[in-house]
Amino acid sequence: MNPSDYLVDTGVEWRRSPAPVPYRAALAEQEARNAAIAAGQAEELIWLLEHPPVYTAGTSAPADELLDARFDVVHTGRGGRYTYHGPGQRVGYVLVDLSRRGHDVRRFVHGLESWVVGTLANFGIEAWAVPDRIGIWTRDIDGAEAKIGAIGVRVRKWVTMHGFAVNLDPDLSHFGGIVPCGIAEFGVTSLARLGLAVAPEAWDEALRARAPQFLAALTE
């Protein structure tokens, strides 16, 4: 698969960045692309990448949930609280135009959740969304619920930004510098911790196979 091509019959650019992309650079590119999509000057975009270690703060992030600012801290316009991004975590930025895909932000968020949950199922991971808790959840090795993926979005002029992040094999100790998404009573896990070695390329291909279904569901 090329680093950047198009999803069949959708007109959406599908981009993979093979090297880590600094968070601030990715945010600036998202903001520019968001404006171009809204102006009818660019195609929609699904961008898969990873970042060097960084903590990001959503619009609801309180200062006391940043426990140890050991990495760069970026305040961003997405919803939610503090999130960690770093090597071994696959981030998906989804920039689509809801003005022609249903005008329904809630459906978009639920669609992201279902897309990630379905892709995890391809690898034998049973996962789910919880209405009163942000993110994607599964059973950890001790049987307790733990977060395996994060969801955070922003919508500007009906064009979406940000998206999701899934823990393939990150350093889970890095999450200790924050209260992930403001939920202190549950842990964080990964596919590797659950005994699955999944390469980014394999994850991306499984996600891509489900992308047309995700996009179609936005207007059902």
- Cβ neighbours for 18, distance < 8 A, ≥ 6 positions apart: 3
User: What is the b/e burial string over 82-93, where b = at least 16 CB atoms within 10 angstroms of the residue's CB?
Assistant: bbbbbebbbbbb
Sign of the CA dihedral running 218, 164, 213, 18: positive
Sign of the CA dihedral running 26, 32, 35, 37: negative
* Cβ atoms within 10 Å of 158's Cβ, excluding its own: 16
List residues with catalytic annotation. 181
* Cβ atoms within 10 Å of 70's Cβ, excluding its own: 12
User: What is the b/e burial string over 170-209, where b = at least 16 CB atoms within 10 angstroms of the residue's CB?
Assistant: bebebbebbbbbbbeebbbbbbebbeeebebeebbebbbe
CA angle 17, 20, 21 (to 5 degrees): 80
Identify whether the C-beta of residue 138 lies closer than 8 Å to the C-beta of residue 120. Answer: yes
